[in-house]
């Protein structure tokens, strides 16, 4: 029988685990310094500025080509999602109205169970 002491696979897994912990600890210490924050935010600020400028440039280019930009396509997709949401909401309202007026049919509008449940006596944790 092999155990964890002499199992090379288990030893490898343990080593990987230890390396992960060690690297994370080391990196966390390095990232806790004000110098790291300064460098990270300087790079981030430059990237955000560049991203904004590039976005604006691309937008102008796409407008000149009479093509929709990514934002516009995303906007359309999200409008579609919003319309779907509104339809779902209307459907739910209709189901609710049908339920209140006793016209319910199907799983969407099934009569809800009574709100009479009591916790199990004894109050012990259930598993």
Partner 1 sequence: MNAAAGLDFAGIPERIQSEVQRAIQRSIKGVEYFSTSGPTLGSTPKDVLRSRGTMSLYHYRPMSDEIYRVPVLIVMATTNRGYILDLVPGQSFIEFLLRRGYDVYMLDWSAPRPEEKSLRMEDYVLDFIPDCVRRVQQDSGEQDVSVIGYCFGGVLSLLYGSIFQDGPMKNLICFTTPIDFREMKLFSNFSDRRYFDVDRLVDSVGNVPPEMILSSFEMLRPASRTVSQIQLWENIWNDEFVKSYRMFDRWATDTLPLAGEYFRTITKDLMWDNKLFNDTMSVGGRAAKLEDIKVPFLHAVAEHDHIVPYEAAKHLIAKIGSQDKEEVMLKGGHVSLVAGANAVKRLWPKLDSWLGKRST
Which uninterrupted H or E stretch holds 79? helix 70-100
* Residue placing its CB nearer to partner 1 in the complex, 66 or 107: 107
Site membership for partner 1, residue 106 (CB under 8 A): no
Site membership for partner 1, residue 105 (CB under 8 A): no
* Residue placing its CB nearer to partner 1 in the complex, 45 or 68: 45
Q: Residue holding tokens 């099934």?
A: 110
Of 4, 14, 45, 103, which one interacts with partner 1 (CB under 8 A)? 45
| CA separation for the pair 124, 127 (Å, rounded) | 10
Site membership for partner 1, residue 75 (CB under 8 A): yes
CA 102 to mean position of chain CA atoms: 39
């Amino acid at each position: 029988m092999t155990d964890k002491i002499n199992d090379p696979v288990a030893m490898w897994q343990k080593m990987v685990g230890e390396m992960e912990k060690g690297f994370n600890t080391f990196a966390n210490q390095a990232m806790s310094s004000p110098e790291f924050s300064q460098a990270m935010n300087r790079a981030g600020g430059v990237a955000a500025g560049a991203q904004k400028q590039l976005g604006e440039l691309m937008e102008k280019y796409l407008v000149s080509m009479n093509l929709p930009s990514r934002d516009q396509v995303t906007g359309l997709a999200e409008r579609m999602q919003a319309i779907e949401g509104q339809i779902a909401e209307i459907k739910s309202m209709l189901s609710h109205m049908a339920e209140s007026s006793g016209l319910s049919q199907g799983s969407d509008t099934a009569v809800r169970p009574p709100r009479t449940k009591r916790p199990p006596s004894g109050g012990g944790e259930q598993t």
